[in-house]
Amino acid sequence: MSQQTPDSGALKLLEVGASNGVRLGRVQRELGMDVAGVEPSAAAVAEARTAGLNLSVGTAEHLPFPDTTFDVIVFGFCLYLCDPADLFRIAAEADRVLKKTGWIIIQDFYATAPATRPYHHLDGVYSRKMDYRTLFSWHPAYTCYSQRITAHQTRHFADDPQEWVATSVLRKL
């Protein structure tokens, strides 16, 4: 049975950096949520649309949705590739489309202090690691309910900071 909101039926979830929508399809099927996604790759969006998913070509700093649309926003391994100059805009856009009492889930590379290094999959692109929950947790409307640090490959704790990934759950009140 899916959870309901009084005004619109199923809970609404947005995945930023949704790729081809595989995770969104699973959330829609297994949890009965109304899902949407934003992804910069037109090919990935086209693939998701053939599966009947609601994906838009776009980026995190310009979300193509009305104010207070979503109950949950998920950033899954996408912020580490964003330009640091865009981070305030990304946080503002997420806040704009998130309903009051909504949730933000962030899973991304983690560092105790911001760090940049070349992205090993593509020349000329950089990977940036930081505590991405701080994009929201500094604001009194947001509370971090959970943060778990694990290793990227093993999903267990690792001593090597280059392998750290954080999964953070925040609530907007």
Concatenated DSSP letters of the chain: ---EETTTEE-EEEEES-TTSHHHHHHHHHH--EEEEEES-HHHHHHHHHTT--EEE--TTS--S-TT-EEEEEEES-GGGS-GGGHHHHHHHHHHHEEEEEEEEEEEE--SS-EEEE-TTSTT-EEEES-TTHHHHTSTTEEEEEEEEEETTTSS--S-GGGEEEEEEEEE-
Partners of 80 in beta bridges: none
**pLDDT in the model for residue 81:** 93
Q: How confident is the model at residue 74 (pLDDT cuts 50, 70, 90)?
A: very high
pLDDT in tens, 86-114: 999 999 999 999 999 999 999 999 999 99
pLDDT in tens, 1-55: 334 444 558 999 999 999 999 999 999 999 999 999 999 999 999 999 999 999 9
Portion of the chain with pLDDT greater than 70, in percent: 91
CATH number of 4-106+132-146: 3.40.50.150
**pLDDT in the model for residue 154:** 64
Q: How confident is the model at residue 158 (pLDDT cuts 50, 70, 90)?
A: low
**pLDDT in the model for residue 157:** 63
For range 159-170, the mean pLDDT: 86
For range 127-135, the mean pLDDT: 96
> 157 versus 29: which is more confidently predicted?
29
For range 51-62, the mean pLDDT: 95
Q: How confident is the model at residue 155 (pLDDT cuts 50, 70, 90)?
A: low
Nearest-angstrom CA–CA distance, 21 and 147: 25
**pLDDT in the model for residue 3:** 42
